[in-house]
Structures are given as structure tokens and as C-alpha cells.
Amino acid sequence: MTQSTLHERLDSLGLKGFKSSLIRQCDDPNYDQFPFNDRLLQLLDAEINERENRKIKRLMQNSAIKDKQASLENIEYSSKRGVERSHILSLATCDYIDKGQNILITGATGVGKSFLAQALAKRAIHQGLSAVYYRVSRLLEEIKLADWREPTPRPSRNFPNISCLSSMISA
């Protein structure tokens, strides 16, 4: 089997990570010294990483997160903001999502509610969960437009199966 045939088969199976790692292995003579199983494991790991990265990219695109800099690592823990590091670290595990619990973020204008909501949504995405960020006014509008005559009312935008709906309220 020629390299081009192998590459075509990998393309037809959608194994982009596997293919790019295989090309790297073929171009590097140092890989010849590795046992077959080690090389195969590297190829499979590359495919798994590629798929995880594509999933995160897709979830981020669907999340409506506006602040690309929002991350839990960038939160300022000052007394005027009233944000405790221990609380944020416990939320960072995303256990509240698995337990079906909600978080309500309130505070004065400018204290970082939107940033925190988007950072939590981003963390959920990086753990493989779906998340969407809404400003409360927009979320309430979606709910208002929902067709409540349906057996399971859905907002007009037809929410997908979302693990984490991130929003905030100004106090």
C-alpha cells in the first residue's frame, strides 16, 4: 500500500490527528527505533487530542462567550469585588453542573459578573460540557418568546442540550 493510499483512507475515515502524526513519524527517522505498539499508541493519542480540540472549538463557537480573555485564572480577588478564591476553586470543578445545581451571580455594575459567568462557562467547555452565555435580558426575552403550548416548552432559539447556562444579574 502506498503512502497516498494510506492517507486517502485516513482522510475518508476522518482521522486527521492520526494522519498528521503518521506523517510526522514517517518524516522523522528517529521513530524507526520505537516498537510498533509505541508508535501506534502515539498515533491514537494524536487522534484523541485532535477530536477533543475540535469538540472544544465547536463548543466555544456555540457558547456565545464574548470575552475571549475570560478565564478563572484571570480573576482578580480583591475585597471590593467580594470574590473568594475558595468559592471559585470549588466552582472550577463543575460539580455543581453534575449535581444539577444553579449559581446566581449578583453584584454592582462593573465588579466582573459577566467576566465570571463567561469564565465559568469556558471552564465547563474545557471539561467537555456544553455551555452558553446569555445576558439575563436576552435570556428572559427567549423565555418570553417560548411556545408554552408545547409539551416541553422551548425558547424560540431551540436551545440545544446545554450542560451550563451562564448568565448574570446586575444588583
Half-sphere exposure for 147 (CA within 13 Å, toward CB): 8
**pLDDT tens by residue, 68-104:** 899 999 988 877 777 888 989 999 999 999 888 888 8
What would you measure as the largest C-alpha separation in the chain, in angstroms? 67
Domains identified in the chain and CATH numbers: 3-62 (no CATH), 72-170 (3.40.50.300)
Residue 152: the pLDDT is 59
164 in helix, strand or coil?
A: strand
In the block, cell 436551545 appears at 159
This prediction has a pTM of: 0.74
130, 102, 105: which is closest to 117 by C-alpha? 105
* Better-predicted residue by pLDDT, 159 or 75: 75
Specify the amino acid at residue 44: L
Residue 118: the pLDDT is 93
User: 16-27 and 36-62 are packed helices; what angle lies between their axes, rounded to 10 degrees?
Assistant: 140
**pLDDT tens by residue, 30-56:** 999 999 999 999 999 999 999 999 999
Residue 133: the pLDDT is 87
CB 46 within 8 A of CB 21: yes
Radius of gyration of the chain (CA): 22
Residue 132: the pLDDT is 87
**pLDDT tens by residue, 98-150:** 888 888 888 888 888 889 999 999 999 999 998 888 888 887 887 777 766 66
Residue 79: the pLDDT is 75
Q: What are phi and psi of 153, to 5 degrees?
A: -60, 135
In the block, cell 446566581 appears at 104
CB 164 within 8 A of CB 100: no
Q: In Å, how far are 14, 64, 65, 135 from 132, measured between CA atoms? A: 28, 6, 7, 10
